[in-house]
Amino acid sequence: MTRYPRDLSGYGANPPKANWPNGAKIAVQFVINYEEGGENCILHGDAASEAFLSEIVGAAPWPSQRHWNMESIYEYGARAGFWRLHRLFTKHRIPATVYGVATALARSPEQVAAMQEADWEIASHGLKWIEYKDYAREDEKADMLEAIRLHEEVTGFKPRGWYTGRSSDQTVDLATEIGGLDYVSDTYADDLPYWYQSGSRDQLIIPYTLDCNDMRFATPQGFNSGDQFFTYLKDTFDCLYAEGQAGTPKMMNIGLHCRLIGRPGRIMALERFMEYARSRVDVWFARRIDIARHWQNAHPPVRRDRPSQMDAARFVREFGGIFEHSPWIAERAHGLELGTSHDSAVGVHSALCRAFRSASFEEKLGVLKAHPNLAGKLAAAGELTAASTVEQASAGLDLLTDNERILFTSLNETYMEKHGFPFIIAVREHDKASILAAFRRRIGNSIEMEFAEACRQVERIAHYRLNDLLEPHQAGANS
């Protein structure tokens, strides 16, 4: 048995209504990454110089050496870029969240004071702006705890949000384990916040973005001019705004860096976008902490039994009767690679059908023979399974006239004599007239054709039974 940890389903085709404040059609959220003074540098005790997100595209780390040009580019962000951004945001009275690297904040008291004066949220961007993919769990956790301690020491407050950025596969679990955070943003998986379960804890995730992000000025196949950046932001806004008007409001993340967008040749594109977004009605400009608090209140976490996490006995107990009198199908399905994508009626149906389809001919025939005749002796004696009783009643087969009962009995006997198994049809898709029409039409099929059709109908029946069992519990499950 294997269990797949990634969630490839999310909210699916029907995301929850965000219900943004005042009926907003979109939540627009700007992040200012403050990393200057926290990047890789041997002055900071690192093994080499920084090589990421600068004007030096394709830069390589210099082991045991300072990279003067790289350092001065980062210094530009703190000395000039930050203040240009500060003037722009305060001019337009647009709130922002800062992803603040703790050591960078400690080296920039004037900038921190300006952030707080503007009432920007300062979330944690980790202890240092370094790569954590190769860190041992205990070492990464130690850096997280020190980042939180230093953040509070510098700002006077514990961070309410977290984003490592150059994260490991354990970052989100560690942040959840440490606790005390209103949200974590080390994912790019959705246009809406969602709840993440790690052990006994529920952690709110507010996904971030790498596409509506000025980092693409410093990467191959990125933005070469402010016009490209503006156009991309505008197109993103227009798409999400239209979805909001259609009834499914989303969130637009915009990621900024002082040393990148803070350059004169780029910041005007950002201002043009601000002016464009502000010209639309029903737009909520929010900090990430505002979004987190809204989501916590409007969409609290909902815990439910997850089929992919059930042990074999529980799984068979729940789903062993979906295929008539054939619990072995559920037993085999439980041994497949299951994950969060299987924690729904569609997902369990997929797993059960895979087990059924991979069975031998004799096993499939046994499943067909386990089905009762329509309006047959078992129905008359009240000995159908509960599911079959409901299904036959849904098509009125429990209220047959004497003539109809005689007709069904005759058709059942003729069909069984020719094909060797009962006539099977997903009766919820039919009424008595269409069932009788299908009965007469299918009796003439070859045994091979009818065997294949009967197997398809068994899967359709399973679909409806699983919907009855699981769909009432699906609403809001991922909110």
Residue bearing tokens 């910041």: 267
Residue 284's DSSP bridge partners are 27
First to last CA, the chain: 28
Rounded Cα distance, 328 and 355, in Å: 9
Q: Count the helix, strand and coil residues of the chain and give each as a percent rounded to the nearest 5.
A: 50, 10, 40
Rounded Cα distance, 365 and 454, in Å: 10
371 belongs to the catalytic site: yes
Task: State both tokens at 371.
Answer: 């089905």
Please choose, from the candidates 433, 448, 462, the residue with its C-alpha nearest in 3D space to the C-alpha of residue 356: 462
Cβ neighbours of 284 (radius 10 Å): 21
Please compute Rg for the chain using Cα positions: 30
Q: At 214, is the secondary structure helix, strand, or coil? A: helix
Q: Is 195 left (phi over 0), alpha (psi -120 to 50) or beta?
A: beta
Alpha helices in 187-342 (DSSP H): 226-245, 264-278, 288-298, 312-319, 327-334
Residue type, 203: Q
Is the Cβ–Cβ distance between 348 and 307 less than 8 Å? yes
Phi and psi at residue 427, to the nearest 5°: -65, -20
Q: Which residues contact 160 (CB under 8 A, 6 or more apart)?
A: 121, 123, 181, 182, 183, 289, 292
Is the Cβ–Cβ distance between 199 and 222 less than 8 Å? no
> Which pairs from 293-300 meet CB under 8 Å and 24+ separation?
293/182, 294/19, 294/20, 294/21, 295/193, 295/204, 295/206, 296/182, 296/204, 298/18, 298/19, 299/16, 299/193, 299/195, 299/476, 299/479, 300/479
Catalytic residue among 125, 294, 349, 371: 371
Phi and psi at residue 252, to the nearest 5°: -110, 115
Is the Cβ–Cβ distance between 139 and 179 less than 8 Å? no
Q: At 195, is the secondary structure helix, strand, or coil? A: strand
Please choose, from the candidates 210, 199, 150, the residue with its C-alpha nearest in 3D space to the C-alpha of residue 172: 199
Is the Cβ–Cβ distance between 183 and 299 less than 8 Å? no
Active site residues: 371
